[in-house]
Structure 1
Amino acid sequence: MIETVFRTDDLPVADRAEAWRERLSQTHAPVDLICRPDSHFSAYQRVIPLGSALVWPSVSGSYAIRRTTELIRSSDPEMINLSLIIKGTVGFRMHGPDALYGPFEFRTNDSSHPCEIVLGTSGEAVHAVCVDVPRARLPLPSDEIDRVIGHRLSGREGVGALLASFLTTLVDNRRSYTAADAPRLETVLLDLLAALFANALDGMDSLPAESRRRTLALRIQAFIRDHLHDPDLTPAGIAAAHHISTSYLHRLFQDRETTVSGWIRHLRLEHAREQLADPARSHVPVHLVAARAGYENHSVFTRAFRAAYGMSPREYRHRALLQEAGSG
């Protein structure tokens, strides 16, 4: 997937602050620096385009910016910004009292309202994953979007945890995706972002039916991944946990061209395969790897693994560890 990278370290010290301001202005909307970074300031940004949306992980030193009424009058692209704080603290003022954000909290603002943002409130570096998306692309009424913008949203539970996981996985595994994946990834991003906003309003009914369906499917997939170790994980149990019928659960999986049970088997085998190939886990007995993947019966696991990968789990581990030793 095509991305662009920006580093202030590539520039003369005297030019870094202004270059970073210009970069932020291009990514979201024009801003002013209200606290100029010192001579040791450093910032790094990667921009990953997903259709109309931009996802941009960044690491930066301490600084502060302001989006003013004058800047809004001169240029308003009507963009929404959502920032997932990974490390550090961020101060924020929009239309309420000052707020302080920490790791795995979402901070939101939009280009149409004045705000001030202070990154690294104690002088520390801030790691974040930001999203900029046109307001018109969110499948929610504009007045409902306004009610959420500027409020604290959690990235540790519920839909927020799904969105946080999606963003961190995307930026950590970007080489796994191609430009052809961008439209699909944009759809997932917009659905999760809209669901996060709607959930904050307790108004999931505000979402279009298709967005609700896709969001529910993502929640179910995350639930399955979290419960792979449970040998009693079944379609009936998954449906009950999400208050839907088993037949509706199966319909949600039609787009995956597999059954619910088939996807569970695939994930369990992939989880076991990854564990067997990990040198750091070479001391873990194969039967324990199988149990952690949700297999109570070792012989059932061995047969399934051989059918999927053409060799026994022990043979696969031996070959994978030899290849790892050879590459080292």
Structure 2
Amino acid sequence: MHPTLVFDAAGLSEPARTQQLTEIVRTRLPTMDVHVAVAEHATLFWETRAFGNLIVSDIRIDGITGFLRRDQLPSPFGEVVRLNLVDTGEVGLRIEGRDHLARAGAIGLTDGDAAMIVRFGGEPVHMWSIVIPVSEVKVWAGRGPNRPPAVVDADHPWVAALGANLRSVFAHLEPEPPAFGDYASDATIMLVRGFLASLLSETASPRDVDAVELASRIRNYIDRHLDDPDLTAQRIADAHHISRRYVYVILERHEIRLGEYMRRRRIERAAEELRRTDGSTTIASIAVRAGFSDQAHFGRAFRAHTGLTPSAWRREARTKALRTSAIGTAPQGKTPPIPPR
């Protein structure tokens, strides 16, 4: 797999080259505000692929100065971990208000919905971005008191292993049979699990590690049972052999409020199905599969969270899909971001 040339400034004058690049980036990253200056020689190569349970992007940038900014908002992928591995060059990162410099070989680590700024200095940069569901990595304390560092330098032993893995995956993804993608996904997820577990062990006690693993198991259980309108804290507690109160305690350590989390994940699931289906699939049936007891309750919750009714969301999602299909630059399989309230 090789990244595709999606932008070349050759022959373009200002402001045309900046406008064209901005439109391309906003189409691929609709949650980002784009503030860049584009040199006459600027190029952007970009390839995004979904394989197994991963979404991986290979990005090569040259001649672009400025920054991309995203305020905190629900991720279009649900609960995810995002890793940005810098292969060559350097990238400035501001994550949750703190500045970091990710040099060649380093990894930037964030929640999928974290507020962040990515800065480029005009020099060539090659980086990979990996999006992985939290349910796959098992351990993640991104919002807890023992959160891992936002940038992990190249001298960390797991960083070199992840870089070597990604080079191999991208080198073999196209000529290999489809099953290779599943094997590559599994191998990458195992490495990421080890990487995150090693970071957690450096910043937390064994008891803290156990608490993070339990929180991940609880979130996984919730995600698997979202279609059950009778899913309660007591049901969750019984499934994990803990008290109802401890369910709330363990989640609140990681800044997760149970009711809000369940409601948001149900709405995200419904939003994805609305994006993928047309009018032949009724909103009432989507509401039931997302775990809502009736359509009226679903409609109120959906609008409170997104600012749109389910039918208006579906229309807007299909309009965006048609537009990005016409442009021919948007990666496939991504849900339009849920607007902030």
Partner of 1:162: 161
- Partners of 1:172 and 1:148 in 2: how far apart? 33
Give the superposition deviation at 1:158.
Answer: 2.1
Letter in 1 for 2:21: R
Whether the 8 Å contact between 2:142 and 2:148 is mirrored in structure 1 is no
Computing the radius of gyration from Cα coordinates, the structure with the larger value is 1
Partner of 1:280: none
Q: Secondary structure at the match of 2:55?
A: strand
| 2:78 is aligned with 1:82 | no
Whether the 8 Å contact between 1:109 and 1:149 is mirrored in structure 2 is no
- Partners of 1:95 and 1:136 in 2: how far apart? 23
Partner of 1:22: 27
Letter in 2 for 1:31: M
Q: Secondary structure at the match of 2:169?
A: helix
Q: Aligned in 2, Cα 1:135/1:37: closer, same or farther, shift over 3 Å?
A: farther
- Partners of 2:102 and 2:70 in 1: how far apart? 18
Letter in 1 for 2:107: F
Give 4+ residue runs of structure 1 displaced > 4 Å after superposition.
73-76, 141-150, 203-208
Letter in 1 for 2:119: V
Partner of 1:91: 92
Give the superposition deviation at 1:92.
Answer: 0.8
Percent identity of paired positions between Structure 1 and Structure 2: 19
Q: Aligned in 2, Cα 1:4/1:150: closer, same or farther, shift over 3 Å?
A: same
Listed one character per residue, the Cα deviations across residues 132-163 of structure 1 (whole Å, up to 9, x for unaligned) are 12233221155578844652223444222211
Whether the 8 Å contact between 1:17 and 1:36 is mirrored in structure 2 is no
**Structure 1: gaps of 5 or more residues:** 209-328
Normalising by structure 2, what TM-score?
A: 0.50
Partner of 1:178: 177
Between structures 1 and 2, the one with greater helix share:
1
Give the superposition deviation at 1:38.
Answer: 4.5
**Structure 2: gaps of 5 or more residues:** 214-341
Letter in 2 for 1:171: F
Q: Aligned in 2, Cα 1:112/1:149: closer, same or farther, shift over 3 Å?
A: farther
Aligned residues: 199
Q: Aligned in 2, Cα 1:192/1:177: closer, same or farther, shift over 3 Å?
A: same
Give the superposition deviation at 1:167.
Answer: 0.7
Give the superposition deviation at 1:39.
Answer: 5.4
Whether the 8 Å contact between 1:84 and 1:155 is mirrored in structure 2 is no
Q: Which has the higher contact order (CA 8 A, sep 6+)?
A: 2
Normalising by structure 1, what TM-score?
A: 0.52
What is the 5 A alignment of 1:123-272?
123-142=122-141, 147-148=146-147, 151-202=150-201
- Partners of 1:36 and 1:184 in 2: how far apart? 40
Partner of 1:42: 43
Q: Secondary structure at the match of 1:178?
A: coil
Q: Secondary structure at the match of 2:117?
A: strand
Give the superposition deviation at 1:8.
Answer: 1.5
Letter in 2 for 1:16: L
Q: Aligned in 2, Cα 1:145/1:124: closer, same or farther, shift over 3 Å?
A: farther
Q: Aligned in 2, Cα 1:76/1:103: closer, same or farther, shift over 3 Å?
A: same
| 2:108 is aligned with 1:103 | no
**How much is the aligned-residue C-alpha RMSD, in angstroms?**
3.2
Listed one character per residue, the Cα deviations across residues 300-325 of structure 1 (whole Å, up to 9, x for unaligned) are xxxxxxxxxxxxxxxxxxxxxxxxxx
